[in-house]
Structure 1
Amino acid sequence: MWIILSFLTAVCEAAKDGLCKKSLRDLDVFTISWVWKVFSLPFIVPLIILAPVPEHLPKEFWVALVVGGGLNILATLLYIRAINLSDLSITLPLLSFTPVFLLFTSPLMVGDVPSAQGYAGVFFIFCGSYLLGIKDRSSLFSPLLAIVKEPGARLMLGVALIWSVAANMDKIGVTATSPFFWAVCVQGFISLGLTLILLMNRSSLKGRIRSNMPVLLLIGLVTGAGFVFQMWAIKIGLVPYVIAIKRTSIILGVLIGGLYFLEQDLKTRIWAATVMLAGVFLIALS
């Protein structure tokens, strides 16, 4: 079940990336970051009905909420800034470092230790994601060179590192409460933080948001759905595995970049997708 939920998370993640990239033509980074989280709340908050409020919230919940929520606020701003500065095909592959970082952070933070086959699966997904960043066959190091040359790539690598810690905070949060209750609480915390940042930025929003409302509502819908799928998945699966499968959204995101935004080299992307799916298969069998 957690494998299916992780794949659904990946589909929602890819849709969100394409919609945010499109919206950046008309709106600034702070506004899209705010929309990404706040517009998902109407689709997440009703889930509190399905999750009874605990009589007692343990200390672990509050630590996870403040630390995880704060890290996600920072990562959200860096993420949108990254896809605004550089192509999706350059920035998104660097998110493959998240499950790699998780192989070190998860055993330390929540005790999730993958099997040898699971490690191999994560490695395959990382390799496939790396291939997605290769611009041409003459330069196997172009994804790493992009970190040096592309400001968006550097920012996205930072996002991958931040998320390798924040994902474990999610694990702590859902374990202390429930997937739906945690989803509402942490998304509300992030939305509040981004609202305060947006108000301090003093952007003029009303007219631009109204004219882009259909796309912004779609961002909220796919973000809310993907967030719930992810919380549900990490409740019953190992965090590195869930996030590794979630990162297959990179395949869909790069395809969106090629087909809609006319970014280059889709043939390489197909080979990369095959390698990533081999990794998913290994994880599923582990």
Structure 2
Amino acid sequence: MWIILSFLTAVCEAAKDGLCKKSLKDFDVITIAWVWKVFSLPFILPLLFFTHVPENLPAEFWVALIVGGGLNILATLLYIRAINMSDLSISLPLLSFTPVFLLFTSPIMVGDVPALPGYLGVFLIFVGSYLLGIGHRKTIFSPLKAITREPGARLMLGVAFIWSIAANMDKIGVMSSSPFFWAVCVQSFISLGLTVVLLINRQSLRGKLSGNYPLLLLIGFFTGAGFVCQMTAIKIGLVPYVIAIKRTSIIMGVLIGGLFFMEKDLKTRVGAAAVMVAGVFVIAFY
């Protein structure tokens, strides 16, 4: 079940990326970062009616909420800025470093230690998504060179590292409460923080959102659905495995970039996608 949920998370993640990229034509980075989280609340808050609300929450829950929520606020702003500054096919492959970082952070923070085949599966997904960044240049160092050339790529590498810590905070929060309750709490915390950022930057939404509600609500829907799937998956599966499968969204994101934003090198990425899928099969059936 956690494998299916992880795949659904990937689908929602890719759809959200494409919609956010499209919305950046009409909105600034801070506004889209705010929309990404706040517009998911109508789809997440009703979950409180279907889950048990704990009476006494342990200290680790509050630590996870403050630390994980704070990291996600920072990562959200950097993420939207990254896809605004660079093509999806350049910035998104850098997220493949998240499951690699998790191989080091998860054993320390939550005790999730993958078996040897699991390491192989995560490695294959990393290699496949890394190859996505090579494109027509055909040199193995192209994605790393993109870090020096593309500011969006550098920002996304930072996001990958931040999320390798925040994902473990999610695991702690879920284990000390429940997937639905944690999803509501942490997403509300992030939304509140981004609202403060919006106000500090004196961003006025008056008249901005009018006429764009269907698109913005779709961003919220896919964000909310993907978030709930991810929280449920990490409760029953190892964090590095879940995030590795989630990163197959990079394949879908690159396809979206090619089909809808006319980004180049679409055909050359089929082999890279096959390597990623092989990694998923290793994780799922070892």
Return the TM-score normalized by structure 1. Answer: 0.99
Runs of 4+ residues deviating >4 angstroms: none
**Residue type matched to 2:114 in 1?**
P
Which amino acid letter does the alignment assign opposite residue 92 of structure 2? L
Aligned length: 286
Q: 2:72 aligned with 1:72, yes or no?
A: yes
The corresponding residue for 1:233 is: 233
Deviation by residue 1:54-112 (Cα, 9 ceiling, x = unmatched): 11100000000000000000000000000000000000000000000000000000000
Mapped to 1, the partners of 2:35 and 2:61 lie a distance apart of 26
Instruction: Decide whether the 8 Å contact of 2:255 with 2:266 is kept in 1.
Output: yes
In structure 2, the residue matched to 1:107 is: 107
Instruction: Look up the match of 2:142.
Output: 142
Q: CA RMSD in A?
A: 0.7
CA distance in 2, matches of 1:71, 1:137: 34
Distance 1:145 1:252 in 2: 23
CA offset at residue 139 of structure 1? 2.1
Name the CA distance, whole Å, in 2 between partners of 1:282 and 1:43: 33
**Counterpart code for 1:46:** P
In structure 2, give the amino acid aligned to 1:280: V
CA offsets 1:101-150 (integer angstroms, 9 cap, x no match): 00000000000000000000000000000011013244221100000000
Identity, % of aligned positions: 78
Listed as ranges, the gaps of 5+ residues in structure 1 are: none
User: Displacement, 1:267?
Assistant: 1.6
Residue aligning to 1:46 = 46
Report what 2:10 is aligned to. 10
Partners of 1:73 and 1:235 in 2: CA distance: 22
Match in the other structure for 1:128: 128
- Conservation of the 8 A alpha-carbon contact between 1:18 and 1:256: yes
Contact kept? 2:51, 2:180, Cα under 8 Å = yes
1:186 alignment partner AA: V
State the TM-score, normalizing by the size of structure 2: 0.99
Amino acid at match of 2:210: R
Partners of 2:211 and 2:150 lie apart in 1 by 31
Give, in whole Å, the separation in 1 of the partners of 2:29 and 2:14: 18
Determine the C-alpha separation between the residues in 1 that align with 2:43 and 2:130.
33
Contact persistence 1:39–1:217 (CA under 8 A)? yes
**Partner residue, 1:198:** 198
Gaps of 5+ in 2: none
Q: Deviations over 1:160-191 (max 9, x none)?
A: 00000000000000000000000000000000
SS at match of 1:68: helix
Deviations 1:164-221 (A, max 9, x none): 0000000000000000000000000000000000011111212121121111000000
Q: Distance in 2 between matches of 1:47 and 1:93?
A: 32
**Amino acid of the structure 1 residue aligned with 2:41:** L
Give the secondary-structure state (helix, strand or coil) at the position aligned to 1:206.
Answer: coil
**Structure 1 residue aligned with 2:159:** 159
Counterparts of 2:6 and 2:135, CA distance in 1: 28
CA distance in 2, matches of 1:51, 1:23: 33
Q: Distance between the aligned counterparts of 1:272 and 1:208, measured in 2?
A: 39
2:112 counterpart SS class: coil
Distance 2:136 2:28 in 1: 32
